[in-house]
Amino acid sequence: MLALAIASSALPAAAVAAPDAYSLSGDQFVRMMSHPAELNSVQYMDREKAYSYLDGARDSGKGRVWCDVNVLKTADMAYDLAHEITKMAPAERKKNASLLLLDLLRRKYPCRPAEGRQ
96 forms beta bridges with: 25
Q: How far is CA 94 from CA 15, 23, 42, 100, in A?
A: 24, 11, 23, 10
User: Which residues of the chain fall short of a pLDDT of 50?
Assistant: 2, 4, 11-18, 115, 117-118
Could you tell me which CATH number the domain at 24-108 has?
Answer: 1.10.890.40
Give whole-number Cα distances, 80 to 10, 33, 55, 83, in Å: 42, 10, 14, 5
Taking only the tens place, the pLDDT of each residue in 13-23 is 444 444 555 78
- pLDDT at residue 4, rounded to an integer: 46
